[in-house]
Amino acid sequence: MAVLKDHLLHEIANDLCAREDANKRGCFLTALPSIEKFILAGKEPFRVFRRIVQDNVTITFVTSDSVRMTYSASKSVFLFHSIYVSKYPEYSWNIGQAWLNNLFITWARKLCTEATKWYAFPRTGYSKLMAQKSDLEQLCVDNDRFNDWAIILKVFPKLVVLHVSARNLSSLLLVASTELAGLKEVALSHTARRLIVAHQTLSNHQSKYPNLDTIRYHLTQLPDICFPANVNIPSIEHITIDCPNPKCCTPWNFAFLTAFQKAFPWLESVEIDVHTSCDCYYGYHAISQKLKIVDAFYQAFQELNFEFTVKITFSETITLYEDYHNGELQYNPLHPHFLTKGKVSGTPEEFTVKTSYPGKELIYEVNIRQYDHDTDYVYDDYDSPLDYAYNMMAYHDDYDYL
């Protein structure tokens, strides 16, 4: 195994992590026998898995005798029995082997925490090992009223990425007595009112983060991204937005891009990732009405003109219902209509449209699903019969479709 190239070793290790969890999704894994064998197979597998832990493992809970962590897959994984599977699934580990936990804590560069109880005295076992770390690079604070910033800044002076609420970012910058020289990225989530305060605090304390160049808005609706007057933060070069479940048939207002241009004068790129579902078209509501909304969206995108680049990935699942007039599923006009919008790939039920102009790109991913009133199951035309049987069993435990 040691003679394999790095990329092959990485693929093997990632596949082993996925296989360990394949039969226990949603449960903590308490042992990783395949991973243990891989790590002990030689110098190169040992080195490769150390890098995987640094990049993909997040410590989520630490006490003196227990540690929990998540492994985030680095590629798409589709499990046979699962109806809905995230693009990058997370696997939960609560391993019983102390030597493996010690390695993972030592190697890990990411922490997600609600508090810093592991730092409190007496520090023993895993808590002691965690308190001795000074190389943490990414911190996620899963607590809107976090008050332990003084400890965090003391223990982890090399933070590069922060995932915090808008409220927590404001409290952090107010507490920080020295500059966060290594901080490159901040991921924010919260309501419009809190984001306004966070933006004002960022503007007031720019000397504390001289190298911050990226802001990520996580699970944030576009109308919530607001700024107070006269905010100017020239260090920010990149913006990414993760926008879940916006109103599917409401016209987009791109005013937030103009606000970005004013607040971040040296902005180079904006990337927006949208995931939504649409079940508006049933009964007398014809799916053809969706075509006008699609046209307006593309027209507004085509008219965008900024000095920074704009990339939008819009993923939408559209459910078709039976027509009240004849009891039949509605005709699907979306695929032929999207053929006029850009380069289309895929099937009429699941396709991707790529549209590019100078300085901007739109990737529109469409998944057409059909609703069957007799089974209460949303059926995909591209499901195999066996996939369909397993999915039906998930909805109806008292039937055996195999």
| Tens digits of residue pLDDT in 8-65 | 888 888 788 777 654 455 556 777 888 888 888 888 889 999 999 999 999 999 988 8
Residue 382, pLDDT above cutoff 70? no
pLDDT at 348 over 70: yes
What is the rounded average pLDDT of the residues 102-113? 92
Report the percent of the chain where pLDDT is more than 90.
Answer: 37
Q: Is it the case that residue 379 has pLDDT exceeding 50?
A: no
Collect all residues with Cβ–Cβ distance below 8 Å to 379 and sequence separation of at least 6: 369, 370, 371, 372, 388
| pLDDT exceeds cutoff 90 at 96 | no
**What φ, ψ does residue 112 adopt, rounded to 5°?**
-120, 120
Q: How far apart are CA 270 and CA 298, in angstroms?
A: 17
Looking up tokens 């195994």 gives 1
Looking at residue 78, its pLDDT comes to 34
- Amino acid 146: pLDDT: 81
Report pLDDT for 134.
Answer: 86
**Weakest-pLDDT range from 53-67, 233-247, 346-360, 372-386:** 372-386
The owner of tokens 């007496």 is: 122
SS3 of 82, please?
coil
Judge contact between 261 and 307, C-beta under 8 A: yes
In which band, very low, low, confident or very high, does the pLDDT at 183 lie, cut at 50, 70 and 90?
A: very high
Q: Which of 36-45, 235-244, 279-288, 293-302 has the lowest mean pLDDT?
A: 279-288
Number of CB atoms found within 10 A of residue 257's CB: 19
pLDDT at 27: 59
